[in-house]
Amino acid sequence: KIDVGLFFELTGTSLTKLVLLGSVRATIADLGDDIPKLLQLRFDVVGLVDFPKSIVEVDATLINSKALYTFHLTGDLAFRIGWGSRPYLLLSFGGFHPRFDPKPAQFPSLTRLALTLDTAMAGLFFRAEAYLAITSNTVQFGGRLEVGYKLGPFNLVGFLGLDAIIQFS
């Protein structure tokens, strides 16, 4: 299901801006009697086309999303394209490589795409997060897996992480 609102800004007789606000929802349900949801996604989206500045910006955030009945899904997505004097293209699912600077684009700080265990077992936690970014001359990807157990004042935590950037010349 998609809900969308589209707004126009006119200066005189010229169209200067288009703004899109929306929500995208998708559900994959089990075929059981009570129809539990295997995957439940909701993205809230805002988009802007600014003709005088020669830019397109789209931002989206996962809201109230779950997978396999027990995992919370969170994270941000963003897209930028500029066609002015310094053209650029940026698409990111969950952010960029930690050492990458997206300038000249005005890019928001993005939350990594994450899968977090929602468990009733006291003390156990699990989190997997990832990102994928494509720019005019790079492909970037990475992630982190964290598993741990908390028992009173003691914590046992293990993690594994990866950050990669491939740059084309």
Instruction: Write the pLDDT tens digit of every residue in 76-110.
Output: 999 999 998 888 899 999 999 999 988 878 888 99
**What does the pLDDT average to over 14-20?**
95
Query: Which of 1, 68, 64, 72 shows the shortest CA–CA distance to 30?
Result: 68
Q: What is the pLDDT of residue 118?
A: 61
> Which residue is it, tokens 């439940």?
40
**What does the pLDDT average to over 12-39?**
84
pTM (predicted TM-score): 0.84
Strand 37-50 and strand 113-117: the pairing is unpaired
Contact 51, 45 (CB under 8 A): no
Q: What is the mean pLDDT of the chain?
A: 90
* DSSP element (H, E) containing 120: none
- Compute the distance between CA of residue 16 and CA of residue 50 in angstroms, rounded to an integer: 6
Contact 43, 62 (CB under 8 A): yes
- Compute the distance between CA of residue 144 and CA of residue 163 in angstroms, rounded to an integer: 9
Q: What is the pLDDT of residue 106?
A: 81
Contact 36, 68 (CB under 8 A): no
